[in-house]
Amino acid sequence: MDRAEKKECVESLSEVFKSTSVVVVAHYSGLTVAQMQNLRKQMRAAGAAVQVAKNRLVKIALEGSEVASIADLMRGPTLIAYSEDPVAAAKAAVAFAKDNDKLVILGGAMGKTALNADAVKSLATMPSLDELRAKLVGLIQAPATKLAQLTNAPAAKLARVFSAYAEKDAA
pLDDT, residue 148, reads 72
pLDDT, residue 56, reads 92
How many Cβ atoms are within 10 Å of 56's Cβ, its own excluded? 11
pLDDT, residue 147, reads 67
3-55 pLDDT, tens digit per residue, is 899 899 999 999 988 888 889 999 998 899 999 999 999 999 988 999 998 99
Total-model pTM: 0.72
On whether the CB atoms of residues 79 and 28 are closer than 8 A, the answer is: yes
Higher pLDDT, 93 or 147: 93
In which element (H, E) is residue 148 found?
helix 129-170
- Per-residue pLDDT band for 171 (boundaries 50, 70, 90) equals low
State whether the Cα torsion 149-154-155-159 is positive or negative: positive
For the stretch 90-116, what's the b/e string if a residue is b when 16 or more beta carbons lie within 10 angstroms of its beta carbon? bbbbbebbeebeebbbbbbbbeeebbe
